[in-house]
Amino acid sequence: MADNILIAKNISKSFGGIHALKNFSFSVKKNSITALIGPNGAGKTTVFNIISRIYQQDSGEIFFQNKDITNFAPHQLPQLGISRTFQNIVLFPNMNLVENIMVGGHIYGSSSIFKYLFAVFSSKREDELLFKRAMNNLEFVGLQKLAYSEISELTFGQLRLAEIARCLMSDSELLLLDEPAAGLNPKETEDLARLLLEIKKIGKTIFIVEHDMNLVMTISEKIIVLNFGEFLAKGTPSEISTNPQVIASYLGDDQYIG
Amino acid sequence: MITKKDTFQLSFFFIIMFFLPVILNSFQGGGYYIGIFVPIGFFTLTALGLNLLIGFAGQISLGHAGFMTIGAYSSVYICNKLGYSALYGFALSILLNFIIGFLISKPILKLKGHYLAMATLGIGLIIQIISREFMYFGGGEGISLPDLKIFDFNFNDFKHKEFAYYYLVWLLNFCVLKLSLNFINSKAGRALKALHINELAAQSLGINVTAYKTFIFVFSTILAGISGSIAAHYNSYILPTTFDLHTSIKLVTMVILGGTLNIWGTLFGVFILMIIPELLGKFDEYEGIVLGAVLIVILLFLPDGLTSIPKKLKRLCFKNNG
Ligand SMILES: Nc1ncnc2c1ncn2[C@@H]1O[C@H](COP(=O)(O)OP(=O)(O)OP(=O)(O)O)[C@@H](O)[C@H]1O
Ligand SMILES: [Mg+2]
Q: Which of A90, A124, A130 sits opposite B201 (nearest CB)?
A: A90
Side chain identity at A96, as an amino acid letter?
A: N
* Nearest CA owner, ligand 1 atom 7: A15
Q: Which of A94, A109, A123 sits opposite B197 (nearest CB)?
A: A94
Q: What does the buried/exposed string (b/e) look like for B175-202 if buried means 16 or more CB atoms within 10 Å of the residue's CB?
A: ebbbbbbbbbbbbbbbbbbbbbbbbebb
If you ran DSSP here, which 8-state letter would residue A142 be given?
T
Min distance B305 CA to chain A CA atoms (Å):
14
Q: Which of A79, A95, A166 sits opposite B193 (nearest CB)?
A: A95
Ligand showing the shortest atom-to-Cα distance for residue A49: 1
Which of chain B's residues have a Cβ under 8 Å away from the Cβ of A159? none
Residues 6+ apart with CB under 8 A from B317: none
Contact A78, A106 (CB under 8 A): yes
Element (H, E) at A232: strand A230-235
Amino acid A257: pLDDT: 43
Residue A180, phi then psi, degrees to nearest 5: -70, -15
Q: Give the number of C-alpha atoms closer than 13 A to the C-alpha of residue A137, restricted to the C-beta side.
A: 27
Ligand showing the shortest atom-to-Cα distance for residue A13: 1
* Nearest CA owner, ligand 1 atom 26: A40
Query: DSSP letters of A156-220?
Result: HHHHHHHHHHHHHTTT-SEEEEESTTTT--HHHHHHHHHHHHHHHHTT-EEEEE-S-HHHHHHH-
pTM score, two decimals? 0.92
Is the pLDDT confidence value at A240 over 60? yes
Mutate to test the pocket of ligand 1, among A46, A51, A52, A226 (most ligand atoms within 8 A of CB): A46
A90·B261 Cβ contact <8 A? no
Is the pLDDT confidence value at A1 over 60? no
Element (H, E) at A117: helix A113-118
Which of chain A's residues have a Cβ under 8 Å away from the Cβ of B194? 92, 95, 103
With an 8 Å Cβ cutoff, is A182 touching chain B? no
B43 C-alpha to center of ligand 1: Å?
A: 47
pLDDT tens, chain B, 322 aa long: 567 788 888 888 898 888 888 888 787 777 788 888 999 999 999 999 999 999 999 999 999 999 999 999 999 888 877 877 888 889 999 999 999 999 999 898 989 888 999 999 999 999 988 988 877 777 777 788 887 777 777 776 766 778 888 999 999 999 999 999 999 989 999 999 999 999 999 999 999 999 999 999 999 999 999 999 999 999 888 888 888 898 999 999 999 988 888 889 999 999 988 888 777 766 667 777 777 888 788 888 887 788 878 877 877 777 655 4
C-alpha B135/C-alpha B130 separation (Å) is: 10
Amino acid A252: pLDDT: 59
B203·A73 Cβ contact <8 A? yes
Residues A118, A120, A122: CA angle, nearest 5 degrees: 115
Amino acid B307: pLDDT: 80
* Nearest CA owner, ligand 1 atom 17: A45
Nearest to B180 by CA among B253, B258, B280, B115: B258
Nearest CA in chain A to B2: A124
Nearest to B67 by CA among B213, B215, B173, B222: B222
Q: What does the buried/exposed string (b/e) look like for A57-95 if buried means 16 or more CB atoms within 10 Å of the residue's CB?
A: beebebbbbeeebeebebbbbbebbbbbbbeebbbbebb
Query: DSSP letters of A40-88?
Result: TTSSHHHHHHHHTTSS--SEEEEEETTEE-TT--GGGHHHHTEEE--TT
Contact B65, B303 (CB under 8 A): no
What is the span of the domain harbouring residue B58?
4-321
Side chain identity at B113, as an amino acid letter?
A: G
Contact A59, A36 (CB under 8 A): no
If you ran DSSP here, which 8-state letter would residue A256 be given?
G
Ligand showing the shortest atom-to-Cα distance for residue A42: 1
ipTM computed for the complex: 0.92
pLDDT digit string, tens, across residues B114-169: 899 999 999 999 998 898 887 777 777 778 888 777 777 777 676 677 888 899 99
Pocket of ligand 1, beta carbon within 6 A: A 15, 18, 20, 38, 40-46, 87
Nearest to B103 by CA among B227, B219, B218, B228: B218
C-alpha B76/C-alpha B89 separation (Å) is: 7
Q: Give the number of C-alpha atoms closer than 13 A to the C-alpha of residue B268, restricted to the C-beta side.
A: 14
Domain total of chain B: 1
If you ran DSSP here, which 8-state letter would residue A96 be given?
B
pLDDT digit string, tens, across residues A3-58: 899 999 999 999 988 899 999 999 999 999 999 999 999 999 999 999 999 999 99
Min distance B140 CA to chain A CA atoms (Å):
38
Amino acid B251: pLDDT: 93
A93·B182 Cβ contact <8 A? no
C-alpha B322/C-alpha B319 separation (Å) is: 5
With an 8 Å Cβ cutoff, is A200 touching chain B? no
What are the distances in angstroms from CA A97 to CA A101, A148, B315? 6, 6, 19
Nearest to B166 by CA among B9, B12, B19, B8: B19
Residues 6+ apart with CB under 8 A from A216: A35, A37, A208, A210, A223, A237
* Nearest CA owner, ligand 1 atom 8: A46
Mutate to test the pocket of ligand 1, among A11, A19, A45 (most ligand atoms within 8 A of CB): A45
CATH number at residue B197: 1.10.3470
Is the pLDDT confidence value at A255 over 50? no
Report the DSSP pairing between strands A33-37 and A222-227: parallel
B145 C-alpha to center of ligand 1: Å?
A: 61
Min distance A90 CA to chain B CA atoms (Å):
7
The crossing angle, in degrees rounded to 10, of helices B64-75 and B113-133 is 30
Number of the ligand 1 atom closest to the C-alpha atom of A49: 18
Distance of CA B250 to the CA centre of its chain: 10
With an 8 Å Cβ cutoff, is A159 touching chain B? no
pLDDT digit string, tens, across residues A114-161: 888 887 666 778 889 999 999 999 999 999 999 999 999 999 999 999
Q: What size, in residues, is chain A?
A: 258
Amino acid B322: pLDDT: 42
Mutate to test the pocket of ligand 1, among A11, A12, A15 (most ligand atoms within 8 A of CB): A15
CB atoms within 10 A of CB B152: 5
Nearest CA in chain A to B198: A90
C-alpha B92/C-alpha B228 separation (Å) is: 12
